[in-house]
Amino acid sequence: MDNKLQNWPHFVLSGDFDPDAITARLGIEPTRSLKAGVMDPETGRSRNTSYWVLGCGDQDAGCDMQDQVIYMLSQLDSCKAEVAALCDEYRGEFNLFACLDGNIPGFWLDAYTLRKLAQLNVDMDCRYIRSSEIDGKDGN
């Protein structure tokens, strides 16, 4: 990994559902999805629950977490009522994962962005991951 901040905000639904049905309801293609009982190619194991993920990479909105979250919200804006309903039916999370190189003090979200997130009826998970932790996982 290079020594700059890498963020990966993403929206994820998990539960007992067919990911294709979620795609049809939202009208958005996921970044990644997997149906329960199917082998996950990343782990080599099958999962007990299905998941549907809409992610945002650095290339989509720059490296600033606030900008990436705004980008993600713009993708979900046309179906925010449906997202909120799905979060009532299944587990919905907006994950804000930031990879730190030790020199970045953190990230912030303004009040407007927080209100937009609240409209989605999602739980939020905010985590910092040190670049050395990621480097150690893949042997680099």
Each residue of 67-118: pLDDT tens digit?
888 888 998 999 999 999 999 999 999 888 776 666 666 677 889 999 998 8
Nearest-angstrom CA–CA distance, 22 and 92: 12
Largest CA distance in the chain: 43
If one counts every other C-beta atom within 10 angstroms of the C-beta of residue 65, the result is 24
pLDDT digits (tens, 9 = 90+) for 42-62: 888 888 999 999 987 555 545
Which pTM value belongs to this model? Answer: 0.76
Indicate the residue type of 34: L
Nearest-angstrom CA–CA distance, 5 and 68: 13
40 DSSP assignment: P
The token pair that represents 22 in the structure block? 């979620």
3-state secondary structure of 140: coil
Q: Left if phi > 0, otherwise alpha if psi is -120 to 50, otherwise beta: which for 137?
A: alpha
